[in-house]
Amino acid sequence: MSQATNYFPSQNVSVWYQKETTVGDQPDDAGLKKLQVTSFTIPESSVPVEYSAQRAGQFTTTASQGHHSEGTKMWTFDTTLRGTPTSVLLATEAVFEDASSEAALNNDYTFPTATYVNGASSASTFEIRFEDAGADATHNNVVCQGCVGTGFTITEDIGSEGGEMTVTINWATGFMPNSGTDADDAISSPAYDTGTPRNIRNLDPDNTGINGGALEKLVIQSWELSVNRTIERVHYKDNTSGTFEPFGYAMTGGFEVTGSITAIRNDDINDLLAKFYDSNTVDINIQNDTASELTIALDKCFINEPTIDNGGAVLMETIPFTVVGADDISSTTKMLGITIQ
């Protein structure tokens, strides 16, 4: 057989998504929407090899000891997007199942197990399609089904990307990525995210800062917010077809919501220092001039070891924080709220 000379330019790859109607089943392409992706990773349809224990008196590994672990694999990948409303609300829906224009992670959150069961008709999972990333000219797409959001990070930095917001979403799936014939359907009714990314230069200085009784209006240079959770696959439902699809997914542990703000070190920072070390939480608000365009409300935060950065023209203070919920875990108050339109 002669050597193949074809190749696939990475710049040709585009990334599409749609909500699944049935967990793990590839919907028709009517709901696919092209994202404003700036970087991504593509999962390969491969599984690791595990080896059984070495027998006493044996000094080589034998072929019979090797086993491909199809039934335990979680394929992981990520997509980094320009910070449009579509990007932000895809992140919130993927990670805590809320895509409303005022997306909230409430204190009484419960993982909706029924919407993550393989074959469930009310799905909280997604199809992510990498167009023109296939294995050969006839199988030119990679489709990931049953995708679950395990975390996202939202960032704005006045010295990067022209101040534009970026959103990175971390994905996982227990369904093997598909680059076969089912993945090759042309997208007949394409839709596109045409939204405008939010920009740090539009933050409202009068309503952005850290509160501890009175809002400290920081001169913010950058900020970051991350929401993460652990999702595990549950066993496998079919070992005869070779697909080893999972029963579904389960969430283990709680959400980890963290972030940081970097601001010019000035009198406002000095006023905050007294609040860093008491036993009370503070609330943090990040808001655009038009509140409906972007408001991130973090009601209870612990400040965690601010640091001074003297690497630039003026001193900066980086303020890490952890977002926590109310002590009453039955409370319907929001731990995190994101408004974006």
Q: What pLDDT, on the 0 to 100 scale, is given for residue 170?
A: 98
**CA 54 – CA 286 distance, rounded (Å):** 57
Establish if 16 belongs to a structural domain.
yes
Distances (CA, A) of 257 to 40, 233, 252, 322: 23, 22, 15, 6
Mean predicted confidence (pLDDT) in 81-100: 98
Establish if 284 belongs to a structural domain.
yes
Establish if 56 belongs to a structural domain.
no
Output the average pLDDT for the chain: 91
CB 310 within 8 A of CB 269: no
58-62, 102-106, 271-275, 332-336: the lowest-pLDDT one: 271-275
Establish if 333 belongs to a structural domain.
yes
Mean predicted confidence (pLDDT) in 15-41: 93
Q: What pLDDT, on the 0 to 100 scale, is given for residue 98?
A: 97
Q: What pLDDT, on the 0 to 100 scale, is given for residue 240?
A: 65
Mean predicted confidence (pLDDT) in 244-257: 96
The pTM is what?
A: 0.95
Q: Which of 314, 224, 207 is nearest to 262 (CA)?
A: 224
Establish if 52 belongs to a structural domain.
no
Q: How is residue 124 written in tokens?
A: 């909280």
pLDDT reading at 182 higher than 70: no
Mean predicted confidence (pLDDT) in 61-83: 94
Q: How many domains does the chain have?
A: 1
Q: Which of 43, 91, 30 is nearest to 340 (CA)?
A: 91
pLDDT reading at 155 higher than 80: yes
Establish if 3 belongs to a structural domain.
no
Tens digit of each residue's pLDDT (9 = 90 or more) over 305-331: 999 999 999 999 999 999 999 888 777
Q: By residue range, what is the domain housing residue 178? A: 10-43+69-339
Tens digit of each residue's pLDDT (9 = 90 or more) over 118-138: 999 988 999 999 998 987 777
Q: What pLDDT, on the 0 to 100 scale, is given for residue 251?
A: 98
- Percent of the chain at pLDDT > 70 equals 94
pLDDT reading at 212 higher than 60: no
Establish if 93 belongs to a structural domain.
yes
Establish if 63 belongs to a structural domain.
no
pLDDT reading at 213 higher than 60: no
